[in-house]
A = this chain, B = another copy of it.
Amino acid sequence: MKLRFGRKVISVDEARAALYECVTTTEKEMVSLPRSFGRLLATDIYADHAVPHFRRSGVDGYAVRSQDIAAATPDNPIVLDVIERIPSGTVPERTVQAGMAARIMTGAPVPDGADTVVMLEMTDCLCLQDESLLSLDAQDTKVKIKKNVQAASNITPIAGEVNCGELVIPQGTRIGPGEAAILATFGFSVVKVFRRPRVAIFSTGSELLQVEQELQPGKIRNSNSYMLAAQVEANGGEAFIMPALSDDPHQVEAALGAVLPDVDLILTSGGVSVGDYDVLVDVFGRFDGKILFNKVAMRPGTPTSAALWKSKLLLALSGNPGASFVGFELFAKPIIRKMLGSHRPEAEELSAFLDIAYDKPSAYPRYIRGTTRVEAGCLWVRPAGIDKSSIMVSIKDADCLIWLPAGGQGYLRGDSVKVYTTR
């Protein structure tokens, strides 16, 4: 059966739901912490100890009893006996009692008895007169406290950051700098992540030259495959750019089938429309997989198609560069992110103000490549350069897709629109 015309159209959400039913996460693997940056956690991270696990001083200064220094002023400093010096990484040996202070460094444990820490700058001690006493062996014997400091000041209590047993990072979270710090804190020198999904990328079209080839009349170099590969990698997948497909459906089926066992997803661009040489249509018309959909209520990319073949997803994107880009963002991105365990696989939806009027009506919802800017706290968006699905050069200017519903009668500058981030 040829499926050029008379296809059943479904919505973007229905198409995504059909895809999601076929997606499972990739297997888990262990990588070293520095190799895990940018990956998605494949396990919940619970705190196996409180942070901090001791009362931590937030400053360099003196640990004291707040009641002892309640009357302290620069003119009437309180003098306390310095009983101990507590560098970071050590454990206090003595309890601070009435009239006592312990010299303490940032990050060191506050000794028992003390309930506040006075910053060094609010104290006077011998060391200010004689810098040699700053050396490790020096022992202050007295300190003048020049300011009243309230109880609990400059101390982070035990579990002030994290309780023991608390969920600190849920599975599916991307490991950024903050997550890296937490993983290190809890001793994760190796980290469990989902394997990067392997994505084979095929382009169709006998007009396509390889990047290395000289330009020829009527032909263009294959750019979609590289664009899609960059999109795959930006979303955490591993891209494999495959040789261009021929016009012969038998050869195409063989080429797709050959790579199928080794990848998690096949992306094709082109060959899904109504043209005479749209070979993917012929492949879908004869192969033994299950067609999930072959027409989506969207522009560009209406003929976007998908199939499940030997338990692998095959996503056939429209061949126009703009349609390929949009099709990736709407369908391939969430597939890859779901394989990686993401709980928010789809692009973030934001509201923005339209920066210029837009009056192209559409029978289907439209996804327009857009460029955002923030001005005076407001998010404005306009179509990125020339917005036609055949246009490649303006894709670089897009940081989002502007969504306009079907049948719109046109939009004015300042109208509120939905946008989906693509970066």
Contact = CB atoms under 8 A, between A and B. Distances in A.
A187 to B, nearest CB: 6
Highest count of chain B CB atoms <10 Å: which of A34, A178, A220, A319: A178
A211 B184 contact: yes
Given A351-B374, A374-B350, A230 B273 contact: no
Contact of A230 (B176, B215, B223): B176
B226 A87 contact: no
A59 to B, nearest CB: 9
Interface residues of A, number: 113
Contacts of A239: 34
A398 B107 contact: no
Given A106-B320, A377-B351, A379-B378, A183 B226 contact: yes
Contact of A34 (B176, B177, B241, B273): B241
B211 A189 contact: yes
A388 B178 contact: no
A377 B105 CA distance: 46
A38 B234 CA distance: 8
A308 to B, nearest CB: 26
A180 interface: yes
A178 to B, nearest CB: 3
A131 to B, nearest CB: 5
Interface stretch (A9-17, A46-54, A144-152, A258-266): A46-54
Interface stretch (A19-27, A73-81, A201-209, A289-297): A201-209
B89 A275 contact: no
A91 interface: yes
A89 B218 contact: yes
A219 interface: yes
Interface in A163-177: 168-169, 175-177
Interface of A: 2, 4, 33-34, 37-38, 49, 51-54, 56, 58, 60, 85, 87-91, 103, 105-109, 120-121, 131, 134, 136, 156, 160-162, 168-169, 175-189, 205-208, 211-213, 215, 217-231, 233-234, 239, 241, 247, 273-277, 319-321, 325, 350-353, 374-379, 386, 388-398, 416, 423
